[in-house]
Chains A and B, each alone.
Chain A
Amino acid sequence: MEPFLRIEGVSKFFGQFQAVKDVSLTIAKGEIFSLLGGSGCGKTTLLRMLAGFETPSAGRIFLDGEDLADVPAYARPIHMMFQSYALFPHMTVAKNISYGLKYENMTPAQRKDRLREMLDLVQLTPYADRKPHQISGGQRQRVALARALARQPKLLLLDEPLAALDKKLREHTQFELMSIQARTGVTFIVVTHDQEEAMTLSDRIAVMDKGSVQQIGSPTAIYEYPNSRFVAGFIGSITTFAATVAALNGDQVRLHVADFGAEITARAIENLNVGQEVVLALRPEKLHISHDCTLEGNVIAGQVKDLAYFGKDSLYRIVLPSGALVSAHMVNASRGSGTRADWDDNVFLSFDPASAIVLPA
Chain B
Amino acid sequence: MIGWFHRRGWSDIIIALPYLWLVVLFLIPFAIVVGISLSTRTVTAPPIGFGGDNPWVSLSSYARLFQDDLYLRAFFTSITNAFVAMILCLAIGYPMALGLTRVSRNWRNILLMLVILPFWTSFLLRVYAWMGLMSKNSWFNEMLRDSWNFLVPVNWAVTFVPMMYSNFAVVLVMVYTYLPFMILPLFASLERLDPVLDEAAFDLGSRPWQVFVDITLPQSIPGIIAGGLLVFIPAAGELVIPSLVGDTRAPMIGRVISDTFSSARDWPMAAAVAVVLLLLMVVPMMVYSHYQAKGGAR
Chain A interface residues (CB < 8 Å from chain B): 51-53, 72-75, 78-80, 82, 84, 86, 88-90, 99-100, 102-104, 131, 133, 147-148, 151
* Minimum-distance CB pairs A-B, first 7: A100-B204, A86-B200, A86-B196, A73-B202, A90-B218, A80-B203, A74-B202
Complex alpha-carbon distance, A74 and B201, angstroms: 8
Residue contacts A-B, CB under 8 angstroms, 16 given: A73-B202, A74-B206, A80-B199, A82-B196, A82-B199, A86-B197, A86-B199, A89-B197, A99-B201, A102-B214, A103-B210, A131-B298, A133-B298, A147-B204, A148-B203, A148-B204
B8 within 8 A of A: no
> Which residues of B, 282-298, contact A by the 8 Å Cβ criterion?
298
Contact A100–B215 (Cβ < 8 Å): no
Give 7 new A-B contacts, CB below 8 A, not counting A53-B203, A79-B204, A99-B201.
A74-B203, A80-B199, A86-B197, A86-B199, A103-B205, A103-B206, A103-B210
Contact A89–B298 (Cβ < 8 Å): yes
B105 within 8 A of A: no
User: Number of contacting residues on B, CB 8 A?
Assistant: 18
Contact A84–B205 (Cβ < 8 Å): no
Contact A74–B219 (Cβ < 8 Å): no
Q: Closest approach, in angstroms, between the C-beta of B196 and any C-beta of chain A?
A: 4
Hey, what's the 0/1 contact readout for B181-219 against A, CB within 8 Å counting as 1? 000000000000010110111111111001000110011
Q: From A84, A99, A151, name the one whose CB has the most chain B CB atoms within 10 angstroms.
A: A99
Contact A73–B203 (Cβ < 8 Å): yes
Nearest residue (CB) in A for B217 is A90
List chain A residues, Cβ under 8 A from B298. Answer: 89, 131, 133
Give how many A-B residue pairs fall within 8 Å (CB-CB): 66
List chain B residues, Cβ under 8 A from A133. Answer: 298
Hey, what's the 0/1 contact readout for B135-167 against A, CB within 8 Å counting as 1? 000000000000000000000000000000000
Chain B interface residues (CB < 8 Å from chain A): 194, 196-197, 199-207, 210, 214-215, 218-219, 298
List chain A residues, Cβ under 8 A from B218. Answer: 90
Q: Closest approach, in angstroms, between the C-beta of B107 and any C-beta of chain A?
A: 18
List chain A residues, Cβ under 8 A from B204. Answer: 74, 79, 99-100, 147-148, 151
Assess A100 versus B205: contact at CB under 8 Å? Given A86-B194, A89-B298: yes
Complex alpha-carbon distance, A90 and B193, angstroms: 11
List chain B residues, Cβ under 8 A from A88. Answer: 197, 200-201, 214-215
Which single member of A82, A89, A90, A104 contacts B205 (CB below 8 Å)? Answer: A104
Q: Closest approach, in angstroms, between the C-beta of B200 and any C-beta of chain A?
A: 4
Q: Closest approach, in angstroms, between the C-beta of A135 and any C-beta of chain B?
A: 14
List chain B residues, Cβ under 8 A from A148. Answer: 203-204
Assess A102 versus B206: contact at CB under 8 Å? Given A90-B218, A90-B219, A133-B298: yes
Contact A99–B203 (Cβ < 8 Å): no
Nearest residue (CB) in A for B193 is A89
List chain B residues, Cβ under 8 A from A100. Answer: 204-205
Assess A80 versus B214: contact at CB under 8 Å? Given A74-B205, A74-B207: no
Complex alpha-carbon distance, A151 and B202, angstroms: 13
Contact B199–A99 (Cβ < 8 Å): no
Complex alpha-carbon distance, A151 and B196, angstroms: 19
Complex alpha-carbon distance, A74 and B205, angstroms: 4
List chain B residues, Cβ under 8 A from A151. Answer: 204-205
List chain A residues, Cβ under 8 A from B205. Answer: 74-75, 100, 102-104, 151
List chain A residues, Cβ under 8 A from B200. Answer: 80, 82, 86, 88
Nearest residue (CB) in A for B202 is A73
Nearest residue (CB) in A for B203 is A80
Complex alpha-carbon distance, A263 and B281, angstroms: 92
List chain B residues, Cβ under 8 A from A73. Answer: 199, 202-203
Complex alpha-carbon distance, A74 and B204, angstroms: 6
Nearest residue (CB) in B for A86 is B200
Nearest residue (CB) in B for A73 is B202
List chain A residues, Cβ under 8 A from B203. Answer: 51-53, 73-74, 78-80, 148
List chain B residues, Cβ under 8 A from A82. Answer: 196, 199-200
Nearest residue (CB) in B for A48 is B199
Which single member of A72, A79, A84, A102 contacts B196 (CB below 8 Å)? Answer: A84
Complex alpha-carbon distance, A341 and B116, angstroms: 74
Nearest residue (CB) in B for A53 is B199
Nearest residue (CB) in A for B199 is A53
List chain A residues, Cβ under 8 A from B219. Answer: 89-90
Contact A99–B214 (Cβ < 8 Å): yes
Q: Closest approach, in angstroms, between the C-beta of A332 and any C-beta of chain B?
A: 46
Complex alpha-carbon distance, A86 and B211, angstroms: 14
Complex alpha-carbon distance, A102 and B204, angstroms: 9
List chain B residues, Cβ under 8 A from A52. Answer: 202-203
Nearest residue (CB) in A for B196 is A86
